[in-house]
Structure 1
Amino acid sequence: MTIADSTTPDAAIADEGAARRPPARTFEEGVREARPMPVSTAEMNKVEPLGPHSLVWKFYGDNRQILGFQRVAGTENCIEQLAKGVEDHSVIFSDFKGRAERTVPPIMSTVYSADPHGWGRKVRDFHRNIKGTVDSDGSSYHAMNPELFYWAHATFVDQVIYVTDTFIRRLSHAEKAQLFEESKRWYALYGVDDRAEPQTYEEFLTYWDGMLDRFVPTKTIVYATGYLRKGLPRPRQVPPPVWRVASVPLNALLRTLVIGTLPQQMRDVCDLTWNRRMQKRFDRMTAAIRALNPIINRLPVDKLYTAWAAEAWERTGVDPRPINN
Structure 2
Amino acid sequence: MTDEPGPTPLGPGSLTWRYFGDTRMLLVGPRAAVLQNMLPALGQGVLDHSVFFSETFARLKRSAGPILDTVYGGERSAETGRKVRDYHRDIKGTMPDGSRYHALDPETYYWAHATFLDHMLYGIETFIRPLDEAEKRRIYDESKTWFRMYGVSDRAMPEDWEAFQAYWKRMLDEEIVAHRTARYGVGYVTKGLPAPPKVPARLWRAVSPPLNAVARFITVGGLHPRMRELLDLPWSAADERRYRRFAAAVRAGNRLWPLLPEAVRYLPQARRARTATRAAAARDGQDPDRMRAS
Give me the TM-score of the superposition, normalised by structure 2.
0.90
Cα separation, 2, equivalents of 1:307 and 1:46 = 23
Q: Is the 8 A contact 1:215 1:265 kept in 2?
A: no
Partner of 1:264: 225
Cα separation, 1, equivalents of 2:291 and 2:126 = 20
One-letter identity of the residue aligned with 2:223? L
Q: How does 1:1-325 map to 2 (within 5 A)?
A: 38=1, 40-42=2-4, 45-114=5-74, 115-135=76-96, 137-213=97-173, 214-234=175-195, 236-237=199-200, 239=202, 243=205, 246-317=207-278, 319-323=290-294
Cα separation, 2, equivalents of 1:259 and 1:125 = 32
One-letter identity of the residue aligned with 1:71? R
One-letter identity of the residue aligned with 1:294? R
Q: Is the 8 A contact 2:29 2:218 kept in 1?
A: no
Cα separation, 1, equivalents of 2:45 and 2:218 = 28
Shift of 1:167: 1.3
One-letter identity of the residue aligned with 2:179? T
Cα separation, 2, equivalents of 1:46 and 1:99 = 27
Shift of 1:263: 1.0
Cα separation, 1, equivalents of 2:104 and 2:232 = 30
Which is further off, 231-240 or 283-292? 231-240
Cα separation, 2, equivalents of 1:238 and 1:88 = 31
One-letter identity of the residue aligned with 2:268? A
Cα separation, 2, equivalents of 1:151 and 1:92 = 19
Sequence identity percentage: 44
Shift of 1:316: 0.9
Q: Is the 8 A contact 2:91 2:103 kept in 1?
A: yes
Helix, strand or coil for the counterpart of 1:141?
strand
Cα separation, 2, equivalents of 1:296 and 1:266 = 31
Cα separation, 2, equivalents of 1:269 and 1:310 = 37
Q: Is the 8 A contact 1:50 1:111 kept in 2?
A: yes
Alignment root-mean-square deviation, CA: 1.7
One-letter identity of the residue aligned with 2:250? I
Shift of 1:67: 1.8
List gaps (5 residues or longer) in structure 1: 1-37
Shift of 1:112: 0.7
Shift of 1:172: 1.9
Give me the TM-score of the superposition, normalised by structure 1.
0.82
Q: How many residues align?
A: 280
Shift of 1:199: 1.3
Helix, strand or coil for the counterpart of 2:153?
coil
Shift of 1:173: 2.0
- Counterparts in 2 of 1:233 and 1:321: CA distance versus 1, 3 Å: same
Shift of 1:147: 0.4
Cα separation, 1, equivalents of 2:195 and 2:264 = 29
